[in-house]
Amino acid sequence: MFEQLKASHASGDLNDRKTLCEALAYQNYLDSPPHIQSEAEKIISTEGCDCVLGNSIKPEAAQCCLGAAVQFEGEVAYCMLPKKVIFPKPGAYAKQHPDFLLIAVLDMVLNSRRNVLFISDWKDDEGNTALPTPEQVNCGDLARELGLCWTTWNTGKAITIIAFDVELAYKPTWLDSGLAFYWYAAPRRAEWGLARSLETGRPTLREWVLPKRVGAFKIAAYWDREVEQDYNFSPDKLCADYWKACAKELRS
Amino acid sequence: MNTQEILSILRGEQGINPNRGIEEDDLLEMTFFELPKTEHDAFWAALAEAMTTLLANNDDLPLYLACRFIFSMSEIKPPHLPHKINLFAFLLDEPTNSASPFILAGRLLALLVLNKGDEKFWKRQVDASLDSLEAAPDNSHAMAAVVYAFLGCNGKASISAEQWGKLFIALTRLPELPRMELLELLVGVEKESSDQPLMKEELDLGMDALRTSSKNTNPDLASVFRAWLDKNEPRQAIADWLSRELSPHEPEARKMSPRHRITQIMNSRRAAA
């Protein structure tokens, strides 16, 4: 199973999308520390290579937050979640006391099926702010720049942008991403990961992960947003520039 | 799109990646919007059939996700719900005693969205969901089922004092306070405001009942009812109670005034720009 990824990386035709995805996945493997590599090997030998091409990894299969622990020094750590807790009429929360609202959002996070929370300070590798404020940011830009491949949103979909108060965070690993091909290992950065833009294919926003457990973070604020138009970031809808940049990176 | 394909997605056989925000219902939604509009009716029929199969097999999480998908389709603009809601009438049938909280919560949510079920039906669901919560007090889906049942009664049936009392007793027994769910209940309670005199009367009766068995009554529970009656403002009364309950657990969060802090950061960022 693993040999297929290796062969695609070594000599595959990168003009072929499936081969390119396999090669990107293998690059992520190569750029991962040894303990992540050995865990990934175990999963791929059980689940097969298809898991790195789609969304096939079982959530319980991968251990999370095995990357380097770092003191989070950014100003604000943002996390974006589609509203998955299925309580009708979320607008009614507006009448509640602000402290209540923060606690309610904490509940939403803790009740989600995530094992790990990807956070970003919306800054690039040089520390420049790359996105406007949570009130102003375009939801599509946000998903695109955070590299949230497979995201398909329709107009009006409710999402929540959460600002966390974080002290300790972890550099994301390939396991945290669910062995995704569209994730980027940021091998030359010890203190943070970098999300790969779905528009340019280039690493852009700094990112970290947090374990989803009580005490790992505090919620400082949140913003309920409605998606402004339809978006489809499934792999077959990504633009040519994305694939070109990924292939170029592998060839260099 | 046929029933088997829908079942395959809902059972996670097509893969998911929750850490990146992709779950079974997201994939189902993506699939739905890739279909030509002419196939939407057939899709809903296949979904109904898939859900019948899941219900028969007590396949709880996939069924819950199917119901969450229906809810999600009601939220987008414009909503995309089935034209023939009678396809989902099977959800009105009472589940077996062994039905898990996933199934209880899921079917009530779907019925709420589809606006099905009469007064008697929703009153029965309040009792059934409270019984389920009593049996599984630490299960958030059991709590969610209660919330949906209460909301289902809005505009159709008034909740009796006995049912409110049972709910509050259940809440006080929960290992962790169901904060989110309680907020939702407040929403439901608020919607009852036009019925306030009747509710007050019922609560008076409920309070009397509690007083007569006061030896075993949790004082916090009694104080909730008292505050409710005194202020005639259920939302604020419960908010006060919840604040007291939460304060020992969240001392740091309450001290730091986070909203103020984040506003300062945003203001300084805007000034710098």
pLDDT in tens, B137-150: 778 788 888 888 88
Q: Which of B14, B71, B265 sits opposite A86 (nearest CB)?
A: B71
Q: What is the mean pLDDT of residues A164-182?
A: 93
Q: For chains A and B, count residue pairs whose Cβ atoms are closer than 8 Å.
A: 156
Which residue in B16, B20, B107 has the most chain A C-beta atoms within 10 A of its own C-beta, making it the best mutation to test that interface?
B20
Band of residue B251 on the pLDDT scale cut at 50, 70, 90: very low
Does B35 reach chain A within 8 Å, measured CB to CB? no
Whether residue B87 is predicted with pLDDT greater than 90 in this model: the reply is: yes
Q: What is the mean pLDDT of residues B14-19?
A: 86
Annotate chain B with three-state secondary structure: CCHHHHHHHHCCCCCCEHHHCECHHHHHHHHHHHCCHHHHHHHHHHHHHHHHHHHHCCCHHHHHHHHHHHHHHHHCCCCCCCCCHHHHHHHHCCCCCCCCHHHHHHHHHHHHHHCCCCHHHHHHHHHHHHHHHHHCCCCHHHHHHHHHHHHHHCCCCCCCHHHHHHHHHHHHHCCCCCHHHHHHHHHHHHHCHHHHHHHHHHHHHHHHHHHHCHHHCCHHHHHHHHHHHHHCCHHHHHHHHHHHHHCCCCHHHHHCCHHHHHHHHHHHHHHHC
Whether residue B249 is predicted with pLDDT greater than 60 in this model: the reply is: no
Does A216 reach chain B within 8 Å, measured CB to CB? no
SS3 A193: strand
Q: What is the mean pLDDT of chain B?
A: 75
What is the amino acid identity at position B93?
Answer: D
Residue B204: per-residue pLDDT: 54
Residue B248: per-residue pLDDT: 44
Q: Do A218 and B20 touch (CB under 8 A)?
A: no
Whether residue B257 is predicted with pLDDT greater than 50 in this model: the reply is: no
pLDDT in tens, B158-198: 777 667 667 766 766 665 555 545 545 654 554 554 444 45
| A230 interaction partners in chain B (CB closer than 8 Å) | 33
**Which residue does chain B place closest to A148, by CA atoms?**
B20
Complex-level ipTM: 0.87
Q: How far is B219 from chain A (nearest CA, A)?
A: 23
Q: How far is B160 from chain A (nearest CA, A)?
A: 22
Residue B46: per-residue pLDDT: 98
Q: What is the pTM of this model?
A: 0.81
| A59 interaction partners in chain B (CB closer than 8 Å) | 16-19
Residue A51: per-residue pLDDT: 73
